Amino acid sequence: MEFALERIVEQTFLYDFYGELLTEHQKGIYEEVVLNDFSLSEVAQEHGISRQSVYDMIKRCDKILTGYEEKLHLVEKFLRTQEMVTEINRLAVQFKAEGDMRKIEQIQEISQGIMREF
Chain centroid offset of residue 42 CA:
26
The pLDDT tens digits of the residues spanning 61-115 come to: 999 999 999 999 999 999 999 998 888 888 888 887 787 777 778 888 888 877 7
Instruction: List CB contacts of 104: < 8 A, sequence separation 6 or more.
Output: 95
- Chain segment 9-51, per-residue pLDDT in tens: 899 999 999 999 999 999 999 999 999 999 999 999 999 999 9
pLDDT > 70? residue 118: no
- Burial letters 36-62, b for 16+ CB under 10 A, else e: eebebeebbeeeeeeeeebeebbeebb
The upper half-sphere exposure of residue 93, i.e. CA atoms within 13 Å in the direction of its Cβ, equals: 5
